[in-house]
Amino acid sequence: MLMEPFDAAALVGTRVGSATLLAELARGSMGIVFAAFQHTLKRRIAVKVLPDALADEESSRLFIQEAEAAAGLAHPHIVPIYEIGREPGFHWFSMQLIEGESLDRRLKRLAANPVPGRRLLPSGEALQLMQRVLAALDYAHGRGVVHRDVKPANILVTSGSALPVLTDFGIAALRSPGGDALKTPRGSPLYMAPEQILHPAADERVDVYAAGVLLFRLLVPGLPLVAHRSTEELLVAKSSGKPVFTRRPSEVNPRLHRDMDDLIAQATAFRPAERFSSCRHFAEALARYERRHGGSG
């Protein structure tokens, strides 16, 4: 979901902390991202802005939480946060500028290829990408942060090396020892685990579920979803416990080994207890699949 119309050009040239906003890069439901120049270190960075005109108390709280959650994480596949602040009319925080594109944009670009055989990521590349994303999620979980919104739009892919970088911790659940996750039911319907809909105080296995859906999405030309006429109907189907996918991965992409069917079925199981117990275990299963079958698909 995109933010309501806002004249981002009015903020170009504004000084925020040690940087000056240069140009809008992207916008989503939780803010507008600008390219900026950091004067102290003479480098280009990214700055995310939440204008007061588009914010309420809840979105402002989540915006600050996003910066604080990600700032406590130091991992090669999680975007680093530099600074947080407020100027008249908006909140902001700065972070590394990732030279590349979102995974969502890359998948759409591939899907438009006139050659059918080139409309997906090579399976080997998809498996490597997912193992890195899972490593980043496992690292975050070990530090009490559950992302809760893992999807292609929230993964940046670097130019050249094509490495994934997890971003947008805007609805992350922060957990303390013995504490509960945040109890606000939020997320992207396609990637939301059933318990996010039914019981918002969910644990890190919601990220296992989302990663399973993402893996399925990477390996097939189109997800074989149960028939639904609206987002609400999809959420009802998910929360009912009935199968959400009408075909197995290897039925949609015959080049995949049937072992992949079992991996994705386990990751996206309705009951959290039937999923991989952690993103690390999921990544280890993918690594075993890759050793046995290579980049089949």
DSSP letter for 220, please.
S
Q: What angle do CA 255, 209, 76 make, to 5 degrees?
A: 85
CA–CA separation, 243 vs 220, rounded Å? 18
Cα distances (Å, whole numbers) of residue 94 to 83, 170, 195, 225, 292: 5, 14, 33, 38, 42
Residue by residue, pLDDT tens for the chain (297 residues) are 445 567 889 999 999 999 999 999 988 777 999 999 999 999 999 999 999 988 888 889 889 988 998 999 999 999 999 999 999 999 999 999 999 999 999 999 999 999 988 999 999 999 999 999 999 999 999 999 999 999 999 999 999 889 999 999 888 887 654 434 445 567 889 999 999 888 766 799 999 999 999 999 999 999 999 999 999 999 999 999 889 999 999 999 999 999 999 999 999 999 999 999 999 999 999 999 999 998 765
pLDDT at site 151: 96
Decide if 218 contacts 130 (C-beta within 8 A): yes
CA–CA separation, 60 vs 269, rounded Å? 34
- Looking at CATH, the fold of the domain delimited by 8-96 is given as Phosphorylase Kinase; domain 1 (3.30.200)
* DSSP 3-state percent helix, strand, coil across the chain (nearest 5): 40, 20, 40
pLDDT digits (tens, 9 = 90+) for 138-177: 999 999 999 999 999 999 999 988 999 999 988 888 765 4
DSSP letter for 9, please.
G
| Helices H / strands E in the chain, number of each | 9, 11
CA–CA separation, 132 vs 161, rounded Å? 13
Known active-site residue 261 = no
Count of CB atoms situated within 10 Å of the CB of 101: 15
- Looking at CATH, the fold of the domain delimited by 100-293 is given as Transferase(Phosphotransferase); domain 1 (1.10.510)
Which backbone phi and psi does 227 adopt, to 5 degrees? Answer: -60, 130
CA–CA separation, 219 vs 247, rounded Å? 13
Cβ neighbours of residue 248 under 8 Å, at least 6 residues apart? 258, 261, 265
CA–CA separation, 92 vs 87, rounded Å? 8
Q: Which of 7, 52, 56, 149 is catalytic?
A: 149
The gap between the terminal CA atoms of the chain, to the nearest Å, is 32
pTM of the full structure: 0.92
DSSP annotation string for 144-179: TEE----SGGGEEEETTT--EEE---TTPEE--TT-
Q: Give the distance from CA 198 to its chain's centroid.
A: 21
Residue found under tokens 């939020």 = 186
pLDDT at site 8: 85
Nearest residue to 78 (alpha-carbon basis) of 136, 139, 152, 146? 136
CA–CA separation, 123 vs 135, rounded Å? 18
Q: Do 8-96 and 100-293 come out as alike in CATH topology?
A: no
pLDDT at site 214: 98
The residues spanned by each domain of the chain are 8-96, 100-293
Tokens of 91: 């909140």
Count of CB atoms situated within 10 Å of the CB of 293: 16
